[in-house]
Amino acid sequence: MQRLGILLSGRGSNFIAIAKAINEGRLPNAEIAVVISNLPEAPGLEAARNLGLPALSLPSAGRKRAEHDADILAALRQHQVDLVCLAGYMRIISPEFVAAYPNRILNVHPALLPAFPGLDAQAQAFEYGAKVAGCTVHFVDEQMDHGAIILQRTVPVLDEDTVESLSARILEQEHLAYSEAIAHVLSGDFHLVERRYLRRT
């Protein structure tokens, strides 16, 4: 059994999708070891408690990044976490954190990276007039929205879309893509050629 550590700052819809995938047997060798939020009021923490999962609030407000990240690392180690999954975690993580879990920190971003990194990716794509949008699951490295890409899924942008309808369509794919990517990373059946994530055959 491999143990996931979830970091979130909001409602954690991607965390809930991961929990659901585990319950439905789509992530057969994984369990959620701990859910950590940097915001005490994040609804995702409450959702974790409702699912009977260990839920920790480690507030980042007023703390230095390195110190806060050290607290998170200590909590992840205490819970024997194998793979860290960012799920709407609105913090840049420190190089020390990245180095502690090499190719063991995942993130999902609501755009086809390298297009539309950063905040409000869906609105960026909408306003740019992109005809194809999507999501990217990637390893986390020292740069924002930058690490090697594990998988990407596309959705069309429709003429009748609003930012909200487009975001909802992308979010559906995030929920599917994230569990699929976690399962594949946990299988270990991959290797990296520079930035290219290649599945072993």
Would you name the residues annotated as active-site residues? 109
CB atoms within 10 A of CB 95: 11
Beta-bridge partner residues of 27: none
Contact 87, 14 (CB under 8 A): yes
**139 DSSP β-pair partners:** 106
Q: Per CB under 8 A, which of residues 105..134 are in contact with a second copy? A: 112-116, 126-132, 134
User: Should residue 199 be labelled a site residue for a second copy when binding is judged by CB under 8 A?
Assistant: yes
Single out the residue of 51, 53, 90, 151 in contact with a second copy (rule: CB under 8 A). Answer: 151
What x-and-dash track marks residues 19-58 binding a second copy by CB under 8 A?
A: ----------------------------------------
Q: Does 197 bind a second copy (CB under 8 A)?
A: yes
* 183 lies in the binding site for a second copy (CB under 8 A): no
DSSP, collapsed to helix, strand or coil, labels residue 49 as helix
Residue 196 sits in the site that holds a second copy (CB under 8 A):
yes
Two tokens at 186?
Answer: 């946990």
Give the strand pairing for 30-37 and 55-57. Answer: parallel
Which H helix or E strand runs over 54? none
Provide the binding-site residues for a second copy, judged by CB under 8 A: 112-116, 126-132, 134, 136, 148-154, 159, 194-199, 201
